[in-house]
Structure 1
Amino acid sequence: MRPSILLAIMMAAPVSFAQFGDSPNELQRAVFEAMQSEIRTAEERARDRNRQPAQVLDFYGLERDMTVIEVLPAGGWYTKILAPILKEAGKLYVTHPAPTFYSDAFAGVTDLPGMEDVDELGWGAMGSRDGTPWIASGPWDVEPVDMVLTFRNYHNFSPDARMAINRSSFDALKPGGLYGIVDHARRHMEPDNPENVRRMDPVLVIKEAQETGFVFVDYSALLRRPDDELRYEVGRPSVTGNSDRFALLFVKPE
């Protein structure tokens, strides 16, 4: 893209390119360009400032030639950003249990322009003790990848299913591969209640990933929202779009 065209996009965009700092790196520039895609809806664009995809993906160490698995892409909010970044030199896979709301939400995404190279991996279900659709993941049929990412999904699964997903992610990664998890924050060691079912204790997430074999690398405060009291359901009008979230990064040992 010619510099003059890119500059025009930056000036017209609802999220200012200046938010990336005085010297945005190559990855941040690529994310910002992907954010301008016409396949993204107005509702998706409205969440850009809150979700900060350029900063989050930069924190995770995404590179344009990586092979990446996105777990539970749902409506494809991040898929529509990841796919253009990885299209030329990398590869994007997605995986989700089917049939579920999540697979239904994603059904039309791969038909959109630029999404034709995104491949869906079978969930590899191992069965469920309680008969719910949130069955545990089994091994994914894929050559070793560089990165596995999941955004605001970890809370959807039972402890057994979370450990199975962690194992699937661990097994799918190359040695030195990266695993990134974003989710809504819960108070440490708070028992389940009707208001916190879509929140996760980040300390528990770290513990579960480490038990799988991952090494904890870093935590980012990019998505911290101190005015979220961690008391209410994340879908409440007073919380939605402003929940306190954590971004955790793990690595599979060499």
Structure 2
Amino acid sequence: MFQSLRYSAAALLCGLSLAAHAAADVPALKSAIDSSERPAALKARDPYRHPLQTLEFFGIAPNMHVVEIWPGLTGYTDILAPYLREHGEYIAALPASEKGLAAYKQKLADSADLDKVTISTFAPPAKTEVAPPGSADAVLTFRNVHNWISGGYDQAAFNAFYTALKPGGTLGVVEHRAKPGSTLETMKKSGYVNEDYVIALAENAGFKLVARSKINDNPKDDKDHPAGVWTLPPTLKLGDQDRDKYLAIGESDRMTLKFVKPKGADH
């Protein structure tokens, strides 16, 4: 299930998680974010995604083993892979798509900084083992929960993340935030998700919520758009219709939640 590019043997070690007491190396993170190897199109989204503050909030240290769920071509690979390259490990858990896998592998091949990435498959409900059980220090997901809700395997996803993490490990979630009380159908249609719904998914899996952050809040986003969250950049689904209006709003309002797998938990 796991396809390693210069796979680090240290990833197979299992013990107490570093996540509970680790701290981000801010200068090293900033160096990865500012690197000339990182695509300009991704750097242009930093004012909305706040990668430095977000990864610092999640406590991602350079010696951790970190799984990012469905990073695709626009996720945090270009930051996390170089940052974890020497002392930790970055695992990209990808959907079961031959086209997507080929594109991702080409991305890795195009940069010397991305030569130590481990690839796993996350394609629920059939494939959910994103890393060996109890091996990861952190699992991170950015703007994916709405897809799992639409697919009907949102709880299975959170259960899988819990299994992959070491006791004490961190689950970091960033997701488009719905208006409180939004129905399940509204969430599926709009791409915005109730914050309490995400917290319930995590807690049902066994996680404890330990912190929330306003890093990715956007008060300009009233969540009332003709094509849901995809009305806003970067998708701009309506094309030129009210384009300036949506550009002025910017990317979506997002929750940023940090959960921990209790230290006494079994793998």
Instruction: Give the TM-score category using the shorter length.
Output: 0.7 to 0.9
Question: Which segments of 5 or more consecutive residues in structure 1 lack a partner in the other structure?
Answer: 1-24, 128-136
Match of 2:59 among 58, 61, 65: 61
Query: Which residue is equivalent to 1:155?
Result: 146
What whole-Å deviation, never above 9, does each CA across 1:83-102 have from its counterpart, x for those lacking one? 11111111110112211775
What is the Cα deviation at residue 142 of structure 1?
2.2
* 8 Å contact from structure 2 (residues 32, 83) kept in 1: yes
Give the Cα separation in 1 of the matches to 2:137 and 2:148: 24
Give the Cα separation in 1 of the matches to 2:255 and 2:26: 20
Question: Which segments of 5 or more consecutive residues in structure 2 lack a partner in the other structure?
Answer: 1-22, 237-245
Q: 1:86 to 1:210 in 2, by over 3 A?
A: same
Matched, 1:184 2:186: no
Question: How many pairs align?
Answer: 221
RMSD: 2.3
Query: Which residue is equivalent to 1:96?
Result: 94
Q: 1:220 to 1:141 in 2, by over 3 A?
A: closer
Give the Cα separation in 2 of the matches to 1:138 and 1:64: 25
Matched, 1:234 2:229: yes
**Equivalent residues in 2 for 1:79-228, closer than 5 Å:** 79-99=77-97, 103=101, 105-111=103-109, 112-123=111-122, 125-127=124-126, 137-142=127-132, 144-158=135-149, 160-191=152-183, 192-193=185-186, 196-228=189-221
Q: 1:122 to 1:195 in 2, by over 3 A?
A: closer
* 8 Å contact from structure 1 (residues 185, 199) kept in 2: yes
Q: 1:100 to 1:249 in 2, by over 3 A?
A: farther
Q: 1:155 to 1:211 in 2, by over 3 A?
A: same
Worse-matched range after superposition: 175-184 or 27-36: 27-36
* 8 Å contact from structure 2 (residues 68, 91) kept in 1: yes
Letter of the 1:138 counterpart? T
* 8 Å contact from structure 1 (residues 76, 109) kept in 2: no
Match of 1:244 among 246, 253, 260: 253
**Equivalent residues in 2 for 1:14-33, closer than 5 Å:** 27-33=25-31
What is the Cα deviation at residue 195 of structure 1?
8.8
TM-score, length basis structure 2: 0.76
Q: Which has the higher contact order (CA 8 A, sep 6+)?
A: 2
Give the Cα separation in 2 of the matches to 1:164 and 1:195: 17
TM-score, length basis structure 1: 0.79
What is the Cα deviation at residue 114 of structure 1?
1.2
Q: Matched residue of 1:108: which SS?
A: helix
Give the Cα separation in 2 of the matches to 1:77 and 1:100: 18
Give the Cα separation in 2 of the matches to 1:248 and 1:56: 10
